[in-house]
Structure 1
Amino acid sequence: MGYDSFKMMHLLGVVLLVGNVTVTSIWKLYADRTRDARIIAFAQRLVTVTDWFFTFWGILLLVVGGYAAAWTAGMDPLRDSWLVWSEVQFVLAGVIWLGLLVPIQVRQARMARGFAEGGAIPEEYWRLGRRWILWGLVATVPLVGAMWTMIARS
């Protein structure tokens, strides 16, 4: 595979990752606003499904394609400062996602299974939902920063 193929793989990964992060947060917010336990439970389940399907594979394509494109083009992704800065921002977003957002999602998903058939939604679900949105926005900042660094440089 050549540089263009790896770059395409990298860009597809970016689209899958950033698209899922953006769309998932919006439709989860709208589902939560209905206050309908069944809709919320369904949306919460889809947060998990889409994270595995789009976010996981998006990250994989982004990383493999990015490193392969850099090495094919004769760059050193572990030494070229603009690439390293992009990687640091990407890793920071990932640390927030794995350290804060995934545990919140898991707790909300467990709760949602309990109220999926129309049961009462516990206050903790709403509190966690607010934290999920807040930290999701925080995690998006370095992700967008990494995209900007890559676009401004290439």
Structure 2
Amino acid sequence: MDYELLKWIHILSSTILFGTGIGSAFYMFMANRSKNLSAMYFAVRHVVIADWLFTTPSVIIQLLSGIGLLVTTGYDLSDTWVLWGIILYLCAGFCWLPVVWIQIRMRNMIKVALESDTDVPSEYWVFDRWWILLGSLAFPMIVVVFYLMVFKPD
């Protein structure tokens, strides 16, 4: 594949991945702080959808286009910036996978609470803390991956 097209795909998918992640996190965080069940349900339901429509394909495209760029440009997996980029990408992914499961559980809990006209169980707020923690760990990792991709330090 042409280098410029591959680079464009990589940049575009990283933009979609980062933008969806930070936007979803902001709206779900703010909805949860409101404690308004309808707002919380709206936010988490759409965050789950956004993960399937945008985040998941972007994660896959990032990996494939990144490997393609390495092959095309001749960089090696043992280059320090590449190695750290892959390690941080995988670590952020290991934070994201449980977050997907957590969001689905949170969505289901809110749905039950709305249908039964009750509050969410206390377990919901435990999931919220884990969701915040895992997102707070993954976010700086992705910022560093962006830095490594742009500056390629030795």
CA distance in 1, matches of 2:15, 2:21: 10
Identity across the alignment (%)? 31
Could you say which residue in structure 2 is the equivalent of 1:131? 130
CA distance in 2, matches of 1:81, 1:32: 40
Aligned residue pairs total: 152
Alignment of 1:97-136 (within 5 A): 97-98=96-97, 100-117=98-115, 118-136=117-135
Which amino acid letter does the alignment assign opposite residue 138 of structure 1? Answer: L
Question: What residue ranges of structure 1 are gaps of 5+ in the alignment?
Answer: none
Question: What residue ranges of structure 2 are gaps of 5+ in the alignment?
Answer: none
Alignment of 1:1-154 (within 5 A): 1-76=1-76, 78-98=77-97, 100-117=98-115, 118-153=117-152
- Runs of 4 or more, structure 1, over 3 Å off, are 116-119
| Contact 1:41–1:115 (CA under 8 A) maintained in structure 2 | no
Render the CA deviation track for 1:67-95: whole Å, top value 9, x for unaligned: 1122112223x232221210011001111
Task: Look up the SS of the partner of 1:132 in the other structure.
Answer: helix
Render the CA deviation track for 1:5-50: whole Å, top value 9, x for unaligned: 1111111111111111111111011211222212211211111101
TM-score under structure 1 length normalisation: 0.89
CA RMSD of aligned residues (A): 1.7
TM-score under structure 2 length normalisation: 0.89
CA distance in 2, matches of 1:103, 1:64: 24
| Contact 2:95–2:134 (CA under 8 A) maintained in structure 1 | yes
Task: Look up the SS of the partner of 1:75 in the other structure.
Answer: coil
